[in-house]
Amino acid sequence: MLELATIADEVAAGYSRDDWNHWIDQDGDGLDTRQEVLAAESLQTPEISENRVRDGQWASFYDGRQTSSASDFDVDHVVPLNEAHQSGGWAWDALTRQLYANDLTFPDHLIAVSASSNRSKGARDPAEWLPSNPEALCTYLAWWTAIKVRWELSMDPAEHQTISRYADNQCAGTRIDLAAADAGTVQITVAAQTPPTDAQTPSDGSDCHPAYDPCLPIVDDLNCSDVKELGQAPVTIINIGQDPYRLDGNRDGVACT
């Protein structure tokens, strides 16, 4: 996917956060985009009142911090709005900027993280900032790359060089599936480059996700409720830190307990 990215200098002038309309209630259910992300990423059924998520259980992907209060966490644009502006969003119309700022169609475009990690990151790209949680590094870089290509945003030379260096070394086992590409958009899964074992292969011969034991189906997204309905909980994370469905909130290697 890095080979699909355009390398270009950034356009820093002209950014205004007010030009990127968020958070909006896209489906009219009373929850705006921030609340939708908090509700979806809570590790237990959250308390919702007056169209706000109040209490639940969250684990910050960037630094591993946990909380039961939604107000402690920010909802982060993995590729920040200012970075999107500098990388090509400066030329977008208002509707495209709104769609980007509230994108829930790719589940890792927006994530709930600790306020301190979000403030630390700011608008910096991977050449300037990386998550302190080492188990998050490769997945974060895969998300970043996928979002940049998906939205046809460029990378500056230092940004591209940094991601490429990790892709060739520490993150060489991370893969992005490009099979489902349509009109410039890409659906992705991120997984360790680990061949499925016999225990991970379903008896019917269907595809099986190599990141988990027992076998989980390869789908766009999966949560612990789905896993329990399949009768496969608890689930072992084969390589801690490679958890594309984000089932292991406390990063202990055992998910959906």
pLDDT digits (tens, 9 = 90+) for 94-142: 999 999 999 998 888 999 999 999 999 999 999 999 999 999 999 999 9
Q: What are the backbone dihedrals phi and psi of residue 120, each rounded to the nearest 5 degrees, phi first?
A: -60, -40
Assess whether the previous peptide bond of 234 is cis (omega < 30° from 0): yes
CB 235 within 8 A of CB 219: no
3-class SS at 131? coil
Whole-model pTM: value is 0.71
Residues 193-241: tens digit of each pLDDT: 343 333 333 334 446 676 788 878 877 567 888 888 777 888 888 765 5
Element (H, E) at 73: strand 73-77
Distance CA 34, CA 31 (A): 8
Query: Residue 201 carries which DSSP code?
Result: S
> What does the alpha-carbon distance between residue 216 and residue 147 come to, in Å, rounded to a whole number?
25
Which three-class secondary structure state does DSSP give residue 94?
helix
Q: Name the one residue in this structure whose structure tokens are 């011969």.
A: 205
| Mean pLDDT within 28-41 | 95
Distance of CA 169 to the CA centre of its chain: 21
Are 140 and 177 contacting, i.e. CB atoms less than 8 angstroms apart? no
